[in-house]
Amino acid sequence: MRSSQLFGKTLRQAPADAENISHKLLTRAGFIQQIASGIFSLQPLGNRSITKIRNIIREEMDRAGGQEISMPVVQPRSLWEESGRADVMLPPLTTFEDRRERDMVIAPTHEETTTVMARAGVTSYRDLPFTIYQIQTKFRDETRPRGGLIRAREFEMKDAYSFDANEEGMDKSFQAMVAAYKRIFKRCGLEAIMVEADSGGIGGKDSNEFVLLTESGEDTILVSTESDYAANVEKAEFIKKEFPKGELGEVEEFATPGIKTIDELAKAEGVSKSKTAKAVFYTVDGEVVVVTIRGDYDVNETKLRNLLDGSEPRLSTPEEVEAAGLVSGSASAVGMEGMRSVVDDSITMGSNYLAGANKEGFHLRNVNLERDFKADILGDIAEAKKGYLSPDGKGKLIAKRGIEVGHVFKLGNVYSSKMGADYTDEDGGQNEILMGCYGIGVGRLLAAAVESNHDDFGMVLPQSIAPYEVYLAGLNLNDPDIAGKAEQLYQQLLDAGYDVLYDDREAPPGVKFKDADLLGIPARIVISSRSLDGGGVEVKARTEKNGEIVAESDTLDAVKKLLG
RNA sequence: CGGGGCGUGGCGCAGUCCGGUAGCGCACUGCACUGGGGGUGCAGAGGUCACAGGUUCAAAUCCUGUCGCCCCGACCA
């Protein structure tokens, strides 16, 4: 490609709206153009990079045994009613009516359609296992898109789905995808780590995210200092501090005028926060639920949601708290009737807690689970934080920021049971197909690659995903001799199979160098009167400060040395 | 959805408080010079000042409403 003919211009200044480094650089370099909030066009350079990423994904999916398919973006809403997700996925799920007034959805993901495909195509255990995938546009009406391609509403995703007859098979399919993912990220120049994750709206039991650790990430990841334990904060577990349980004391009420918080209570009593039982109120499906956790920990709402069977909890408003007859600042689960109680297991690792007396200005001493209040649900709802003990007992947790570039799920029978995807086994019995699903955000992968591969001058893209491999800058092109040699070099490089961007513009050298750097093309060749005087052409890697002059006839070899 | 900010040529901004013929830098066009890190000069072109309504002799500027975009939070495969 000749720069003089390339559509798209580089910008000296990024649009004021761009905040992330990847958003800024991709916009400045003319890769992407924003059309609306979270909605982007790809310009030629960006489209080339995306095409390369797509091809890497495709190669690795095929290598792992995946078969490419294509499913519709527009689907009947009834399909989503079958799976039970029509109402729970709102608002990201966008719906509209077609001209016959049928409710349709714009697909944010494709578990439903893929299950339909399997239920029609699978009748026997002999049809299993298989994995299908597609690379296709999704639309999720996120409440807040951000960071350019990092969180877009319309975006391209590679989504794969595996189908197996049993657990072992599902695990095997899952592992094959994990291996493929590792190769994909590596080939795209990303050091993504696999972490334990919550499965969110997709469902299923086990899920893992692939995360690029970077300060600009929007997710918090907790990793162990001494083991390879790593988990998204939504999912992360830890070893809770255990305290000796003494004799249960008598419950005793005492005055605490003006004390509204756990901090104040612990301070006033001169004890650690771990001696208090904190009560927090959540509204779930219109009902107020009392949540009790030891005062030294905080509630993780994702864990809470999972214990509540996936219903979305939100902090109750002061009005709701009051309407439920609770005294904010002095509330506890003690004596609560007709209200669901969720208790974190940290409460069982100690005794004789300080807790609210449900009476303005009073608290209780020696409050204990079972004897003084009940737990309808007892489990882990505590949020892991840095400094806590890793759940495998090895080391402490530290917190890092990261971008989720891929997510893999063991779905099991979540969809097959609801949507009736069965097969006949060896004994003639009917069984549910076990599924896995596996996603990679293609545009986000590009953004993540830029986040982790750039310097002060622009992107520093790996050869595998750079829009072009070689940037050929011709200087002094008004000299016919140099122009002719540059042209010859351009043709040679093309003949050798390289993707070449030939900067044949009438522009000062500085402009060409700045553009070469901004675009992040891995190899740069300069041909100019100076280079020719020096004995040939300059060949330089994007990652190096200085290049080397090689004889014109050695150019291809030098490029080969650099790029392979 | 809560909080904050911003809408003025393709991009970055000034002008708005205090109403009076819309300006600067980059980019763009032509010519000349220059020629290894966004070069110089001369001459140009391009704007419904987000939209609607109102106040006024006069509105980018004041008032009301609407829309859009960004950031923080909530939320989110």
Kindly report, residue by residue over A99-129, the tens digit of the pLDDT: 999 999 999 999 999 999 999 999 999 999 9
In a domain, A442, yes or no: yes
* A103 and A128 housed in the same domain: yes
Strands A523-527 and A537-541: antiparallel
Nucleotides in chain B with any atom closer than 7 Å to protein CB: 1, 6, 10-13, 25-27, 34-39, 68-77
Question: Which range in A83-87, A260-264, A370-374 is most confidently predicted, on average pLDDT?
Answer: A370-374
| pLDDT range class, residue A321, cuts 50, 70, 90 | confident
Compute the distance between CA of residue A248 and CA of residue A93 in angstroms, rounded to an integer: 51
User: What angle is formed at CA A516 by the lines to CA A512 and CA A520, rounded to 5 degrees?
Assistant: 165
> CATH number for the domain including A530?
3.40.50.800
> CATH number for the domain including A144?
3.30.930.10
* A440, closest nucleotide (Cα–C1'): B77
In this structure, are residues A4 and A477 in contact, taking their beta carbons and an 8 Å threshold?
Answer: no
In a domain, A3, yes or no: no
Q: How far is CA A17 from the centre of its chain?
A: 22
Is residue A202 pLDDT above 80, yes or no? no
Distance A28 CA to B27 C1' (A): 12
What mean pLDDT is predicted for residues A13-29?
Answer: 93
Compute the distance between CA of residue A137 and CA of residue A199 in angstroms, rounded to an integer: 21
Compute the distance between CA of residue A526 and CA of residue A524 in angstroms, rounded to an integer: 7
Closest CA to A526 of A560, A476, A478: A476
Distance A543 CA to B36 C1' (A): 18
* A206 and A85 housed in the same domain: yes
User: Residue A509: exposed, middle, or buried by beta-carbon count in 10 A (0-12, 13-18, 19+)?
Assistant: middle
* A39 and A167 housed in the same domain: yes
| pLDDT range class, residue A90, cuts 50, 70, 90 | low
| pLDDT range class, residue A413, cuts 50, 70, 90 | very high
* A51 and A78 housed in the same domain: yes
In a domain, A532, yes or no: yes
Q: What share of chain A in percent tops pLDDT 70? A: 100
Q: What is the pTM of this model?
A: 0.94
* A428 and A549 housed in the same domain: no
Type of residue at A483: A
**Which pLDDT score is estimated for A21?**
94
Type of residue at A327: V
**Which pLDDT score is estimated for A197?**
92
Type of residue at A62: D
What range does the domain containing A546 cover? 470-563
* A145, closest nucleotide (Cα–C1'): B76
More confident residue, A329 or A440: A440
In a domain, A5, yes or no: no
Compute the distance between CA of residue A503 and CA of residue A515 in angstroms, rounded to an integer: 9
* A16, closest nucleotide (Cα–C1'): B12
> CATH number for the domain including A368?
3.90.960.10
* A138, closest nucleotide (Cα–C1'): B77
| pLDDT range class, residue A457, cuts 50, 70, 90 | very high
- Can you state the percent helix, strand and coil of chain A, rounding each to 5? 30, 30, 40
Three-state SS for A248? Answer: coil
Distance A88 CA to B75 C1' (A): 13
* A338 and A447 housed in the same domain: no
The token duo for A136 is 């296709």
In a domain, A266, yes or no: yes
Separation in Å, CA A561 to CA A59, A138, A523, A564: 25, 40, 11, 6
* A125 and A187 housed in the same domain: yes
More confident residue, A202 or A209: A209
Residue that the structure tokens 């982007």 belong to: A40
* A355 and A494 housed in the same domain: no
What mean pLDDT is predicted for residues A167-196?
Answer: 96
Separation in Å, CA A220 to CA A75, A228, A235, A550: 34, 16, 10, 48
Distance A185 CA to B64 C1' (A): 54
Residue that the structure tokens 């649009």 belong to: A15
Compute the distance between CA of residue A433 and CA of residue A424 in angstroms, rounded to an integer: 10
**Which pLDDT score is estimated for A335?**
86
Alpha helix stretches (DSSP H) within A284-357: 301-307, 318-323
- If one counts the domains in chain A, the total is 3
Residue A326 belongs to what H/E stretch? none
* A37 and A118 housed in the same domain: yes
